[in-house]
Amino acid sequence: MLGEEHVWCSSDVRVLIAGDSNVHRLKSACPPNARIDFLPVSGAKYVSDRKGFRKLLHQELMSGCYDILYLHLGSNDVCCKDSNFYRYVEQ
């Protein structure tokens, strides 16, 4: 409904947005009262994870209590095969 606040904008909901370096650009688009944490990792990939993104994400999820997780990935995984990408996502 028009004018209704999204669930993730609520100050009662804790959100983590994790992914490649574009994640830091999302901060300016988020409402100031939202409880949103950001985990930008430059060059993050889900396939051939040489930046340690999955390990950092796991550590962040274990240290925080998040209600919602958004993954912003794919721009660095464009050249990988779909089957490889989805195999890693399922793990």
| φ/ψ of residue 69, rounded to 5 | -120, 125
CATH of the domain at 73: 3.40.50.12690
Which residue reads 């409904």 in tokens? 1
Q: CB under 8 Å to 41, separation ≥6 — which residues?
A: 18, 19, 20, 21, 23, 51, 52, 53, 56
- Boundaries of domain holding 66: 7-90
pLDDT at 3: 47
Does 4 score more than 60 pLDDT? no
Does 46 score more than 50 pLDDT? yes
pTM value is 0.69
* Structural domains counted in the chain: 1
In a domain, 2, yes or no: no
- Is residue 83 classed as helix, strand or coil in its secondary structure? helix
The DSSP call for residue 49 is -
